[in-house]
Amino acid sequence: MSLTVLGLSGALTHDPSAALYIDGKLVAAAEEERFIREKHAKNKLPIHSAQFCLKYAGIKPNDVDVVAFPYAKISLASKGRWHYAKRYLYSPDRSLGAIFNGNRHYRRNVRKVKRVLEHLGISWNRIEFDSVEHHLAHASSAYHLSGFKEKTAILGIDGKGEFATTFFGCGENGKIRKIKEFYDPDSLGQVYGSFTEYLGFEMLDGEYKVMGMAPYGDPDLHDLSRLIEFDGKEIRVNTRMVNTVGWRRYKEGSKGFYFGQDLVDWLGPRRKGDFADDPYTHYAASMQKLFEEISIELLDFYLGDILRETGKLVFAGGSALNVKLNQKIVKLPYVKELFVQPAASDSGTAVGAASFASQARGVPVEPMTHVFLGPEYSLQECIEACKIHPEKTKSEVIDNVAEKTAQLLVKGNPVAWCQGRMEFGPRALGGRSILGCPSYKGIANRINEQIKFRERWRPFCPSILDTIANDVIQTDQPAPFMAITFDVSEEWKSRIPEVVHEDGTARVQVVDEKTNPKYYALLKEMEKLTGDGAVLNTSMNRRGEPMVCSPKDALNMFFGSDLKYLFLENLLVTKAE
């Protein structure tokens, strides 16, 4: 019996996406932002992404058996609703709302799903609908896709789901068991997000900028522990400073923030502008340190016994994209292997809800070995896109793309590289990338300033051959998804300096030939020319934009920057004189 499951996300009004499982195989997955060209696609429905999934799979609306969504009803008897009500007594509308109308967001989400299905031509009365608890969807996206067979520790840290904010669990024989949850407003992810706003970035988008700023500061100059009461097993957030709502919020004009006036009175005015300066670099370092220390202690308290037994850990939720925390986790003596869901934030809950629904029906899902799950375009489609683009192009078909690209890179040229299917998740992994030669001095600054138009202190990542991984990062921890930073060996720091961060680490992607043969071929060509087998890799987008999807998107970005070379499949595009 065949089983087709469509997963949809967007439960918390951001990062809507769609994923399609057919008989346990993840056939397609994509974020809505890539199609509508609005980063995070806030308050949008995953219509275009779902249409893509069905079209790519070649199935009709009536072929869908189950629709899964990562948001569920929460019982009035649940700890989460009463915890929320008690902690928000200072905001009575929220407190009373949790008790008397605690599932209003669930009902709203069901209406949203029905609207999506109406657009797709899928009959609500014909399909089975699975509403999966938000953190169970995160947990499934990590555990069920990890491929781990042993008893597995499951960690989930994000802003919040229905009421829960943090999840500790155990996976065994395909089943997920909850061990402990924390509830809103006691959220490590929200504390980091609130502080992200204080540091001048957008919440749900700028957290990785805080992480990138942190190595430039001294984490011991400021003690931020008053933000969170922590006794080793429970957290209580100081909602006068962070995770604030209502009248406690700091305001500038009519705009309210998720941090309070008390934080500004303590630390000074919130940061503005693009410079990484004092004292804010030190604040970023201190926040990163606090986040890491509490996360590690909680991990040890709730999951340490499982990890000491098998050493297997999976991690999802937006905070799983904190690659510096992941580095600390990997270094724990009882962690043998860490799997981080590459689409760890809310876009990945489409995969999580769908995988959970498939598993529940006795159809196990395959391990996730790659994220090339989005649209792809033929050479002819790329040629046609150039013909109709308003800017004039020069183009030629190149037989050996890898060889030509390597030749351009070693001469100091950044190259835009659009090949095969688009990546699912926030990381460009060789499908929609801007590349550079990591030994060419100044290439990182040039890409930041002239192509991506972003802060100069933002780091880049290296993609490296699997054959040199142990020499570069000195560990055999799998790293296919750029989800973990590693200490770079002294020899390789001098060989690829443009991709080594201020603290001597790099967020490495280890590339194997099976999952991306064309990208692997490029790295082999780089090895022939430079001896290094590595490239600088960053996503193909400008500041504030989502990663490119189509040839049209790539051309728009190409002409809106100082890029000189763009590969659309085997088509080398340059700008006409």
Q: Give the start-to-end residue ranges of the domains of the chain.
A: 4-145+344-360, 188-340, 379-575
Tokens, residue 551: 């040839």
The rounded distance, in Å, linking the Cα atoms of 131 and 69 is: 5
Q: What is the CATH number of domain 188-340?
A: 3.30.420.40
CATH class assigned to 379-575: alpha beta
Q: In CATH terms, are 4-145+344-360 and 188-340 the same topology?
A: yes
3-state class (DSSP) for residue 124 = coil
**C-alpha radius of gyration, the chain, whole number:** 23
The rounded distance, in Å, linking the Cα atoms of 220 and 175 is: 42
Q: Cβ neighbours of residue 252 under 8 Å, at least 6 residues apart?
A: none
Cα-Cα-Cα-Cα torsion 205, 207, 211, 213, nearest 10 degrees, comes to: 70
Predicted TM-score of the model (pTM): 0.97
Tokens, residue 24: 């346990």
The catalytic residue among 14, 40, 138, 282 is 14
The rounded distance, in Å, linking the Cα atoms of 237 and 224 is: 12
Strand partners, 462: 536
Alpha-carbon distances of 485 from 293, 315, 455, 506, rounded to whole Å: 17, 15, 20, 5
> Tens of pLDDT along 498-511?
999 999 999 999 99
Alpha-carbon distances of 525 from 252, 353, 461, rounded to whole Å: 53, 40, 19
> Tens of pLDDT along 428-481?
999 999 999 999 999 999 998 888 877 766 789 999 999 999 999 999 999 999
The rounded distance, in Å, linking the Cα atoms of 320 and 322 is: 5
The residue written with tokens 């699997």 in the block is: 466
Q: Cβ neighbours of residue 277 under 8 Å, at least 6 residues apart?
A: none
- The whole-number pLDDT of residue 457 equals 66
Q: What is the mean pLDDT of the chain?
A: 96
The residue written with tokens 């065949």 in the block is: 2
The rounded distance, in Å, linking the Cα atoms of 228 and 317 is: 20
Which stretches of the chain score pLDDT less than 50?
A: none
The rounded distance, in Å, linking the Cα atoms of 189 and 317 is: 9
The residue written with tokens 């189950």 in the block is: 66
The residue written with tokens 């630390």 in the block is: 267
Q: How many CB atoms lie within 10 A of CB 287?
A: 28
The rounded distance, in Å, linking the Cα atoms of 67 and 117 is: 9
Q: How many CB atoms lie within 10 A of CB 364?
A: 12
Sign (positive or negative) of CA dihedral 86, 87, 88, 89: positive
Q: How many CB atoms lie within 10 A of CB 367?
A: 12
Sign (positive or negative) of CA dihedral 226, 227, 228, 229: positive
Instruction: Decide if 14 is catalytic.
Output: yes
The rounded distance, in Å, linking the Cα atoms of 46 and 62 is: 18
The reply to whether CATH 3.30.420.40 applies to domain 4-145+344-360 is: yes
